[in-house]
Amino acid sequence: MSIQHSLFDHGMEDRFTDPDIVSEASVDLGIAIRNSTFESIKDELPDRRREILELILMHPSGISSKGISVKHLNGRALHTFSGRITELKDMGLVETCGVEYYPDHNGNMRAYTKLRVKG
Domains defined for the chain, CATH in brackets: 1-44 (no CATH), 46-119 (1.10.10.10)
Q: What is the pTM of this model?
A: 0.63
Specify the higher pLDDT residue, 70 or 34. 70
In the predicted model, what is the mean pLDDT of residues 12-38?
61
Indicate the average pLDDT of the chain.
79
pLDDT: which is higher, 15 or 101: 101
Instruction: Give the rounded percent of residues in the chain with a pLDDT score beyond 70.
Output: 68
Rounded to an integer, what distance in angstroms lies between the CA atom of residue 65 and that of residue 82?
Answer: 7
User: What ranges make up the beta strands (E) of the chain?
Assistant: 63-64, 94-103, 109-117
Q: What is the pLDDT of residue 40?
A: 67
Task: Report percent pLDDT > 90 for the chain.
Answer: 52
Q: Are 88 and 49 in contact (CB under 8 A)?
A: yes
Distances (CA, A) of 47 to 50, 73, 81: 5, 15, 12
Reported as a pLDDT band with limits 50, 70 and 90, residue 84 is very high
Q: For the chain, give the number of residues.
A: 119
pLDDT for residue 23: 60
